[in-house]
Amino acid sequence: GAVVSQHPSWVICKSGTSVKIECRSLDFQATTMFWYRQFPKQSLMLMATSNEGSKATYEQGVEKDKFLINHASLTLSTLTVTSAHPEDSSFYICSARDPGLAGAADTQYFGPGTRLTVL
Partner 1 sequence: GQSLEQPSEVTAVEGAIVQINCTYQTSGFYGLSWYQQHDGGAPTFLSYNALDGLEETGRFSSFLSRSDSYGYLLLQELQMKDSASYFCASNTGGFKTIFGAGTRLFVKA
Using CB under 8 A, list all residues that contact partner 1. 1, 32, 34, 41-46, 49, 93, 97, 103, 105-113
Smallest separation (angstroms) from partner 1 to the CB of 6:
8
Return the number of the residue (81 or 93) whose C-beta is nearest partner 1: 93
| Least gap, CB of 109 to partner 1 (angstroms) | 7
Nearer to partner 1, 34 or 67 (CB): 34
Burial status of residue 49 (CB atoms within 10 A of its CB: 0-12, 13-18, 19 or more)? middle
Nearest to 23 by CA among 49, 5, 1: 5
Q: Strand, helix or coil at 104?
A: helix
Q: Which is nearer to partner 1, 16 or 112 (CB)?
A: 112
* Cα 77 to Cα 33: distance, rounded to the nearest angstrom: 7
Rg of the chain over Cα atoms, rounded to whole angstroms, equals 14
Q: Which is nearer to partner 1, 49 or 82 (CB)?
A: 49
Min. distance of Cβ 111 from partner 1 in angstroms?
6
Minimum Å distance from CB 54 to partner 1? Answer: 14
How far out from the chain centre does Cα 25 lie? 12
